[in-house]
Structure 1
Amino acid sequence: MTTMNLIETRPLKPLFLSYLFPAMIGMLLMSVNILVDGIFVSHGVGPTALAGVNIAVPIFSILLSISLWIGMGGATLYSIALGRHNKERAHKIFTLSFVTMLIVVVILIITLLLNLQDIAYIFGANDSTYPYVKEYLFIILLFGVFYTIENLLSIFIRNDGNPKLAMAGLITTSVLNIVLNYLFIFVLDYGVTGCALATVISTMIGAAVLCFHFFRKQSELKFVRKFFNWSDVKSVFAIGLPSFIVEASVAVIVILYNVTFLYYLGDNGVTAYAMVNYIHTVLLMMFYGIGMALQPIVSYHYGARLMKRVTALLKIGIVTALAFGFIIAVAAILFPSQMMAVFGDSTMDVRQMASQGFVYFAIGYIFLGINMVFAEFFQSIEKTRLATWIMLLRSIVLFVPALIVLPIIFGAQAIWWTFPVAESITALLIFYYVKKNPKVIST
């Protein structure tokens, strides 16, 4: 049975689960790479180096946002083409997406390398953290193109009916990153440079593992010579825009949080947020995993005009996201100090600040999953404007005013409330809109 026939005929819950677990594990492992960097740097180099690496984390978000923007936009069109049994168009979309991403990423990396110091200070570096930021960022940027290739390939491989290989590539990257971090930091004493080297080497090998998909008989991922079309380029960027916003906004949010914590609570506040942000990065990527599990099968069914199955998939996604959000929120409320204890070299004051803040911060996960599922759903059925508005509301329109106003009114502790306030209001607005316009999810 072909991949296309399997998607159309398989019961929805087993079909969704067959994509969900590999997608969530894959996203978890992708974020664990960043978490592992933080843990090894914290224990092997020190808390100031940890703050420096955290300031550099938005670069990951920027690179990931480009690969998600083009990858998710292209993959949506790719799955819709497969749903319509138009393989020739699917091949063109894949080639176009890959080449376009390479061009954009190379230009971006060159620009960032030429302005490294200015970028670091904009992101929140100061004289004590900049040497670590520079040391880490230079290597990450130099080899950053492999990070984006791995992510784009994993997206398309998942859309081509092989979510297990997409997961296997990310498992390879994650395991190697742990081993190499230990080797470079604790054995060879390379410090932050070793951490960056571990990340790029493991990513390159993980991307190589994904290339095995091209030798699979059922693979529809094929490079073709004639692929360029301005209309398709515009469609890829338009449909992928919500994915770009959600990941690019992570960089903006981290920068704004760093600047705000530095203003109200000094270096201790930045370090406390760094600890919370590493945990948040892992959890956020797992919520991405729910959306990424939905996207291939929703886009395919939408292309095949199987709208009852499309609506049913949305409901399954919402229930999954809600359950996951409640579990995380409860765990964070009950065990915040245990979660922060992984960053062992921080002072007691910093660890206590991070633990108390995470209790408030984690309430936002109850609503985050709903917002991510709806945005991914609308993106998957080419309702890009709705998906874009959801992402702008939660990350810019509501977040920025809340970050400014809450600490002014309620004090520095209220900085932690910004995330749950923005996410909860966004979720309420989504449900209000869908209630007023029910046809938006069924046509």
Structure 2
Amino acid sequence: MNETSEILRNTPTKKLFVSYLIPSIIGMLLMAINILVDGIFVSNGVGPEALAGVNIAVPIFSILLSISLWIGMGGATLYSIALGQNNLKKAQSIFTQSFFLATFIVGTLVVLLLWKQKEIAYLFGASDEIFPYVKDYLQIILIFGVVYVIENILSIFIRNDGNPKLAMIGLGVTSVLNIVFNYIFIFMMDMGVKGAAYGTGLATVIGVLVLLTHFFRKSSILKFTKLKFETKIVSEILKIGLPSFIVEASAAVTIIAYNITFMHFVGAVGVTAYAVVNYMHAVFLMLFIGIGAALQPIVSYHYGAKLYDRLQQFLKLGVITGILFGICIWFVGWQFSGSIVALFGEMPADVLAYTTKGIMLFFIGYLFLGYNLVYAEYYQAIKKIKLSSVIIVTRSIVLFLPLLWLLPTYFGGDAIWLAFPIAEGLTAIGLIIARNRLQALKPLKNKPAEPVLNVPGA
């Protein structure tokens, strides 16, 4: 049995969960801070219009991240299950296929988006006034798009290969250098929003180089093998990773829908206010994705190894962590909304007032978001894709989009902020009500036992 398997099987559940959770949370936070830093530096160094322009382009990050999570989490789940089954050659083949599949898909997409970047910008909600900023930022981000996805893929698989600390360090190097480069390019070299984009791109290249050091570890199972796409493996990667794709892709849809709605019902004040809230949301959303990223290698391994009792304990730890994170974030927004807005520099009085109100309403959604996402990510990790997808689509599309239009139509512009918390709250209530139905997941007699949804408050 390899070293990674020994650790996963024999480490006490709480200790093992924390050992994955802390690096995962820090790594995801650092990834989100890359986006947040761009917003803060652009707002303070260029102006509110530039901030709105960069926010219009932010869905590109969500699109690229959605693809890397789709293939990365799908492939990594299969990778860890193969490790649990002690099938190392299969695990290495899964990694190789996942890496090159993601590179090919993103490379093709980047070419198409560069070709139609003006149309994409206006589709995302740009106006003639904001478009020049969107163009300057979007073009450079797309050029570095493949590198950005490679970094995410490598960090996911390195975490699954028993090295969550290096995954965190690689993302940490990227984040720190992004701050340094942003300051140099925007404030010292006066490059505007182009400086923010170049800073992010160059920092990501160096982060990838750090992650590549994992392949020199003697204990590393993660290796490239001869590339041979297997239809069954590729199909499973795409199927299992689909919930992760939906989470991030729906985030892009959410941003676009919010921008369009704010522009229609509130105007430029609403778009600028939402830019501030959205930058914070990008950070907090990554916290919850980080919980899932910590659970996934542990859960998938134990599922493959059929260690179901320990699996139940990890589910409980994940749910409790998600709920506690949600409460803490809501409290921060409720008590420190003014300080959050101040990070983005001076704002006109009307923008400041509307943003502060928005934070206090929008952050209510975090009370439910962690609960919903942990369930979705857990079911994805044990290959119950339908359950995971239903949770995600319900909260992000089925409930959210109608609410986003109906609430301001009947209750005014302030009600736009409530679409997110109401959608998350209704989804959580639906999960609680569905507890008895989910008991149908219990295995039939004489079949291997699979973990059942049975956690406090579920």
TM superposition score normalised by structure 2 = 0.96
Partner residue in 2 for 1:322: 323
Counterpart amino acid of 2:181?
L
Query: Do residues 121 (structure 1) and 122 (structure 2) align?
Result: yes
User: Residue 416 of structure 1: SS of its match in structure 2?
Assistant: helix
Q: Please give the per-residue CA displacement for 1:160-205, whole angstroms capped at 9, x wherever unaligned.
A: 1000000000100000000000000000001111110000000000
Cα distance in 2 for residues equivalent to 1:439 and 1:13: 28
Q: Is the 8 A contact 1:46 1:345 kept in 2?
A: no
**Counterpart of 1:335 in 2: which secondary structure?**
helix
Letter in 2 for 1:31: A
User: What is the alpha-carbon distance in structure 1 between the residues aligned to residue 39 and residue 352 of structure 2?
Assistant: 15
Q: Which residue of 1 aligns with 2:113?
A: 112
Kept in 2, the 8 Å contact 1:69–1:240? The answer is yes
Quick check: 1:157–1:163 contact (8 Å CA) kept in 2? yes
Aligned to 1:442: 451
- AA at the equivalent of 1:15: L
Structure 1: gaps (5+ residues): none
Does the aligned pair in 2 maintain the 1:76–1:299 contact within 8 Å? yes
Partner of 1:136: 137
Tell me which amino acid in the other structure corresponds to 1:386: L
Which residue identity does 2:411 align to in structure 1? F
Distance (Å, rounded) in 2 between the aligned partners of 1:383 and 1:434: 16
Cα-to-partner distance string for 1:239-258 (whole Å, 9 max, x where unaligned): 00000000011110000000
Pick which of 263-272 and 223-232 moved more.
223-232
Q: Which amino acid aligns with 1:346?
A: M
Measure, in 2, the Cα distance between the counterparts of 1:368 and 1:121: 30
The aligned counterpart of 2:19 is 18
The answer as to whether partners of 1:337 and 1:352 remain within 8 angstroms in 2 is no
Do 2:97 and 2:227's aligned partners in 1 also have CA atoms closer than 8 Å? no
**1:229 maps to which residue?**
230
1:181 aligns with 2:179: no
Q: Which amino acid aligns with 2:292?
A: G
2:170 is the alignment partner of 1:161: no
Identify if the C-alpha distance between structure 1 residues 13 and 193 changes in structure 2 by more than 3 Å, giving closer, same or farther.
same
- Unaligned runs of 5+ residues in structure 2 are 442-449, 453-458
Give, as a single letter, the amino acid of the residue that structure 1 aligns with 2:199.
Answer: A
Q: Which residue of 1 aligns with 2:89?
A: 88
Task: Name the residue aligned to 1:278.
Answer: 279
1:208, 1:333 → 2: CA distance?
Answer: 40
Instruction: Quote the residue 1:305 is aligned against.
Output: 306
| 1:343 corresponds to | 344
How many angstroms does 1:439 deviate by?
A: 5.0
1:34 maps to 35
- Paired residue type of 1:54: N
Query: How far does residue 434 in structure 1 lie from its aligned partner after superposition?
Result: 2.9
**1:332–1:359 Cα contact (<8 Å) kept:** yes
Q: Distance in 2 between matches of 1:388 and 1:265?
A: 33
CA distance in 2, matches of 1:385, 1:227: 28
Contact 1:399 1:418 in 2 (8 A): yes
Q: Contact 1:166–1:210 (CA<8 Å) still a contact in 2?
A: yes
Amino acid at match of 1:281: A
Deviation at 1:312, TM superposition (A): 1.1
Output the amino acid matched with 1:274. Answer: A
Quote how far apart the aligned CAs of 1:311 are: 1.1
Aligned twin of 1:356? 357
Q: Distance in 2 between matches of 1:277 and 1:143?
A: 22
Deviation at 1:3, TM superposition (A): 1.1
Q: Is the 8 A contact 1:125 1:133 kept in 2?
A: yes
Following superposition, the deviation at residue 436 of structure 1 comes to 2.4
- Root-mean-square deviation (CA), in Å? 1.0
Q: Which moved more, 1:249-258 or 1:322-331?
A: 322-331
2:410 aligns to what? 409
Q: Deviations over 1:359-389 (max 9, x none)?
A: 0100100110011100110000000111111
Q: 2:88 and 2:434 mapped to 1: Cα distance?
A: 36
Deviation at 1:226, TM superposition (A): 4.8
State the distance in 1 between where 2:352 and 2:218 align: 52
Q: Could you tell me the TM-score, scaled by structure 1's length? A: 0.99
Q: CA separation in 1, counterparts of 2:271 and 2:375? A: 32
Matched with 1:263 is: 264
- Tell me the CA shift for residue 431 of structure 1: 2.1
Cα distance in 2 for partners of 1:426, 1:160 equals 34
Please give the secondary structure, in 2, of the residue aligned with 1:437.
helix
* Aligned residue in 2 for 1:207: 208
Q: Post-superposition shift, 1:348?
A: 2.0
Question: In structure 2, how many angstroms separate the alpha carbons of the residues matched to 1:189 and 1:302?
Answer: 53
In structure 1, the residue corresponding to 2:267 is in which secondary structure? helix
Q: Contact (CA 8 Å) 2:46, 2:192: kept in 1 or not?
A: yes
2:247–2:392 CA contact under 8 A, matched in 1: yes
Q: CA deviation at 1:69?
A: 0.3
Which AA in structure 1 matches 2:246? I
The answer to whether the 8 Å contact 2:72/2:98 transfers is yes
Residues 91, 402 of structure 1: alpha-carbon distance in 2 compared, 3 angstrom cutoff: same
The farther-off stretch of 358-367 and 223-232 is 223-232
Give the match for residue 68 of structure 1.
69
Q: Tell me the distance in 2 between the aligned counterparts of 1:133 and 1:345.
A: 21
Q: Which moved more, 1:47-56 or 1:421-430?
A: 421-430
Q: How far off its partner does 1:143 sit?
A: 1.4
Structure 1 residues 266-323: Cα deviation after superposition (integer angstroms, max 9, x where no partner)? 1111000000000111111011111110000000000000011111111110101111
TM-superposed CA distance for 1:438, in Å, is 2.3
Q: Is the 8 A contact 1:160 1:221 kept in 2?
A: yes
Aligned to 1:290: 291
Counterpart CA distance in 1 for 2:169 and 2:298 is: 20
Decide whether aligned partners of structure 1 residues 226 and 34 sit closer, same or farther in structure 2, where only a CA change above 3 A counts: closer
SS in 1 for 2:155: helix
